[in-house]
Amino acid sequence: MALWIWLSFDPDPVGRLSAQIGFFLLALIHALFKLWLGADASHEFAASRLNGTLELLLSTPLQTREVAAGMMSAFRRRFLGPLLALLLLDATLVAKFLFLNNRTAAFVAGAGAVMLLVDSYCLCWVGLWRGLVARDSTRAVLATVWRLLILPWIFFAGGAGIFLHSTVAEFAGLWLFLGVLNDLVFVVNAKDFFKAHFRTMALRPFGQKPPSVESKWSPMNWEEEPDR
């Protein structure tokens, strides 16, 4: 399928029907991979709490950072191969478009590759945190997908509505900027929360509402500077 997509791409990304189908299938494969990764990461701790594995993990002398490192290592073993295959396909498309002197199409394909890489890393962290705090795995998956895969498109729709007369490359740049910015905000919070509140959240019984935690950027955590 990947080879067919590559061969069917037209120098004009919105040109012939075969090019449009190829572009759609490539975007669909990216989306399905992200959903697969996000669902797996979000399901991990939610399922572990249900079957008692999380309690066994808490009984070990492992530190929070070691737990996080182990989970990320497991994600790399499962998803690094498919991710590299997709990135190779994207790089091939970029090279083909550059060879055909279509810089706009090359930029769009490159933006998709960058977003795939950034999303993949952030989905792991945000999925772990949402799986830890959600009452069940379904809510964890929905929360992760909403934050990283749906919310950026809402921001982009708003931005595209403001800059209606932009070029395709400018729209792709806007989408990339908003997507990366959105991911960074959520992944920084997820990593901070995970490292600070892992054991508190892990000890919460299955199905119980999690206690409220505040971001380090919240006004509740701002400290007044001492008077000099």
| Per-residue pLDDT reduced to its tens digit, 74-102 | 999 999 999 999 999 899 888 888 888 88
Give which of 169, 145, 171 is closest to 158, Cα–Cα. 171
What pLDDT was estimated at residue 25?
A: 82
What are 88's two structure tokens?
Answer: 């190779």
| d(C-alpha 98, C-alpha 225), whole Å | 54
| d(C-alpha 34, C-alpha 123), whole Å | 8
Non-local CB neighbours of 157 within 8 Å, separated by 6+ positions: none
Q: What are phi and psi of 12, to 5 degrees?
A: -100, 110
What pLDDT was estimated at residue 46?
A: 78
Under 8 Å between Cβ of 179 and 159: no
Average pLDDT over residues 192-204: 83
Non-local CB neighbours of 17 within 8 Å, separated by 6+ positions: none
Give which of 6, 19, 13, 34 is closest to 148, Cα–Cα. 34
Task: Centre a 10 Å sphere on the Cβ of residue 212 and count the other Cβ atoms it contains.
Answer: 6
Q: Which residue has the higher pLDDT, 209 or 196?
A: 196
With a cut of 90, say whether residue 26 has pLDDT above it.
Answer: no
Most confidently predicted of 40-44, 68-72, 176-180:
176-180
Mean pLDDT of the chain: 82
